[in-house]
Structure 1
Amino acid sequence: MNTIKYKILGLCTCLFLVSTNIQAQKKKTAVAPASYTIEGNITGLADATTVQLVPGATHSSELPVAETTLKDGKFTFTGKLKEPRFFYVMFGKSKGNIPVMVENTKIKITASGSVSKEEGEWISFKDIVVSGSKSHDYYKKETAFRDELDKDYEAYHTKDSDELSKLIGAANRDKNTKVSDSLQKLAVWKKFEADEKAFFTKVEKSSKDLIAKHKATWWGPFFMMISYSYFTPEQKPIYEQFSETAKKSYYGQVVDKDLNPKSLIGTSVANFGLKDKNGKAYNVKDIVAGKKYILVDFWASWCGPCRKEIPNLKTAYAEYGAKGFEILSISIDKDEKAWQKALAQENMQWHNLLDDDKVSKSFNVKTIPATYLVDSKGVIIGDNLRGAELEAKLKELLKS
Structure 2
Amino acid sequence: MDGGQIILKFHTVLINSMCLIHKNKKMIIRKSILLIILTVSLQGCSKKNYNLTVKINDLDSPNAKVYLLNSLMKVNSETIIDSASLKNNKFSFEGEIPEPKQVFLVLSKEGNGIKDLKNWSGFLSMYLEKGNILVSIKDTVKNAIITGSKLNTEFKLQSEILYGPKKYDDEYNSITESIKNEVSEEKKKVLVLEKAAILNKRIKYRDSLLFNFIDKNPKSYISLKTLNEFAQKGYEESDLIPYFKRLPLEHRSSILGLEFLENLNKKRVDIGELAIDFTQNDENGNPIKLSDFRGKYLLLDFWASWCGPCRAENPNLVMAYKKYHDKGFNILAVSLDTKRDAWLNAIKQENLPWSHVSDLKGFDNEVARLYDVKSIPRNLLIDPEGRIITTNLRGYTLEENLAKIFEK
TM-score bin, normalised by smaller chain: 0.5 to 0.7
Q: SS of the counterpart of 2:175?
A: helix
Aligned to 1:137: 153
Give the deviation of 1:342 after TM superposition: 11
The residue type paired with residue 164 of structure 1 is: S
> Higher mean Cα deviation, 196-205 or 100-109?
196-205
Give the direction of change, closer, same or farther, for the CA distance of 1:365–1:81 in structure 2 (3 Å limit).
same
Give the direction of change, closer, same or farther, for the CA distance of 1:247–1:239 in structure 2 (3 Å limit).
farther
Residues 204-234 of structure 1: per-residue CA shift (max 9 Å, x gap) = 21122223444566432212346x59522x3
Aligned to 1:201: 204
Aligned to 2:178: 164
Aligned to 2:375: 365
Give the deviation of 1:77 after TM superposition: 0.7
CA–CA distance in structure 2, aligned partners of residues 255 and 58 of structure 1: 22
Residues 132-152 of structure 1: per-residue CA shift (max 9 Å, x gap) = 112211222233212313x44
Aligned to 1:5: none
Aligned to 1:54: 69
Verify: 1:108 aligned to 2:124, yes or no: no
Give the deviation of 1:388 after TM superposition: 3.4
Structure 2 residue aligned with 1:97, among 109, 123, 127?
123
Q: SS of the counterpart of 2:134?
A: strand
Give the deviation of 1:163 after TM superposition: 2.9
Aligned to 1:155: 170
Aligned to 1:347: 353
Structure 2 residue aligned with 1:252, among 242, 253, 257?
257
Give the deviation of 1:78 after TM superposition: 0.8
Give the direction of change, closer, same or farther, for the CA distance of 1:199–1:72 in structure 2 (3 Å limit).
same
Identical-pair percentage: 14
Contact in 1 for aligned 2:124/2:142 (Cα 8 Å): no
Contact in 2 for aligned 1:297/1:327 (Cα 8 Å): yes
Contact in 1 for aligned 2:171/2:198 (Cα 8 Å): yes
Verify: 1:291 aligned to 2:287, yes or no: yes
The residue type paired with residue 127 of structure 2 is: M
Contact in 1 for aligned 2:69/2:103 (Cα 8 Å): yes
CA–CA distance in structure 2, aligned partners of residues 237 and 163 of structure 1: 39
Query: Normalization by structure 1: what TM-score?
Result: 0.53
Contact in 2 for aligned 1:90/1:97 (Cα 8 Å): yes
Aligned to 1:323: none
Contact in 1 for aligned 2:50/2:133 (Cα 8 Å): yes
Q: RMSD of the alignment, in Å?
A: 5.3
Contact in 1 for aligned 2:168/2:198 (Cα 8 Å): no
Give the direction of change, closer, same or farther, for the CA distance of 1:237–1:288 in structure 2 (3 Å limit).
farther
Give the deviation of 1:83 after TM superposition: 3.3
The residue type paired with residue 63 of structure 2 is: A
Verify: 1:386 aligned to 2:382, yes or no: yes
The residue type paired with residue 180 of structure 2 is: K
Contact in 2 for aligned 1:112/1:126 (Cα 8 Å): no
Query: Normalization by structure 2: what TM-score?
Result: 0.52
Larger Rg: 1
Aligned length: 284
Unaligned runs of 5+ residues in structure 2 are 1-45, 109-113, 270-279, 291-299, 304-309, 338-345, 389-408
Unaligned runs of 5+ residues in structure 1 are 1-31, 114-123, 264-283, 318-325, 332-338, 371-383, 393-400
